């Protein structure tokens, strides 16, 4: 259908744009930030070797410090996912803390993750879980949200709430499209609340 095709194209474009922004943020932090840090270290060594230059190079050092701080802030804006800094388990805990509201909503996390996922995969899983949590937190009938994560090569993250069945205009539909275009399985079931299951299976390579 034309409407679904348009939504699919939008989801694909969003996933690609997010990937490019994250890539740009990593280049800024890992490459440009590292080069500035090396320049700062060499400047400090120069000051130690030639003390007479210390005063004359002070302004240059301050400029380098401001440049490194600007790169750090910009790289975080381009790649805002906390997964690279905290890991998937702690990022999910922070997500729960952010969406908890005293006396109205309780968000808990239970994690049995083992092994290490590729960083880009962990970021995709976190983004999908974040969309699911935001969809549940945006509904007034939801007072409890449980996030569970388990697995190693095959990882499953579930977001379960105690609300009623989400309406047809739920933001879960777009979240599902974004996840699937990122290569994740995204399934929703309803009963006593809504359960979103996000799955990723690490592909096995055939041996020679």
Tell whether pTM > 0.85.
no
- What is the domain range of residue 165? 83-201
Is 115 in the same domain as 182? yes
Helix (H), strand (E) counts: the chain: 7, 5
Q: What pLDDT, in 10s, does the model give residues 101-156?
A: 766 789 999 999 887 788 888 888 888 898 899 888 888 889 999 999 998 878 99
How far apart, in whole angstroms, are the C-alpha atoms of residue 115 and residue 119? 12
Domain count for the chain? 2
Final residue before a domain boundary, out of 41, 56, 78: 78
Task: Count CA atoms closer than 13 A to 196's CA, side-chain side.
Answer: 28
One domain for residues 127 and 157: yes
Confidence of residue 50 (pLDDT cuts 50, 70, 90): confident
**Calpha distance 183→186 (Å, rounded):** 9
Q: Could you tell me if 184 and 87 lie in one domain?
A: yes
- Per-residue pLDDT band for 76 (boundaries 50, 70, 90) equals low
Among 48, 78, 108, identify where a domain stops.
Answer: 78
Q: What is the pLDDT of residue 208?
A: 43
pLDDT at 1 over 50: no
Both 139 and 197 in one domain: the answer is: yes
Give 3-state DSSP helix, strand, coil % of the chain, rounded to 5.
55, 20, 25
Could you give the CA distance from residue 74 to residue 105 in angstroms, rounded to a whole number?
33
The reply to whether 118 and 192 lie within a common domain is yes
CATH number at residue 163: 3.30.565.10
Q: What is the mean pLDDT of the segment spanning 181-204?
A: 85
């Amino acid at each position: 259908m034309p409407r679904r095709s348009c939504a699919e194209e939008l989801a694909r474009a969003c996933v690609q744009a997010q990937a490019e922004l994250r890539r740009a943020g990593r280049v800024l932090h890992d490459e440009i930030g590292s080069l500035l840090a090396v320049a700062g270290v060499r400047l400090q060594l120069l000051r130690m070797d030639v003390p007479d230059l210390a005063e004359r190079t002070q302004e240059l050092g301050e400029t380098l410090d401001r440049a490194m701080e600007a790169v750090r802030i910009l790289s975080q804006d381009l790649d805002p996912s906390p997964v690279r800094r905290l890991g998937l388990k702690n990022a999910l805990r922070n997500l729960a803390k952010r969406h908890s509201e005293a006396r109205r909503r309780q968000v808990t996390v239970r994690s049995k993750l083992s092994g290490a996922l590729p960083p880009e995969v962990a970021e995709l899983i976190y983004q999908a879980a974040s969309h699911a949590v935001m969809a549940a937190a945006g509904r007034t009938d939801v007072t409890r949200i449980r996030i569970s994560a388990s697995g190693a090569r095959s990882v499953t993250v579930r977001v379960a709430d105690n609300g009623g069945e989400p309406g047809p205009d739920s933001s879960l539909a777009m979240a599902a499209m974004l996840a699937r275009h990122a290569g994740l399985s995204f399934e929703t079931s309803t009963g006593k609340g809504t359960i979103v299951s996000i799955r990723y299976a690490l592909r096995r390579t055939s041996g020679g």
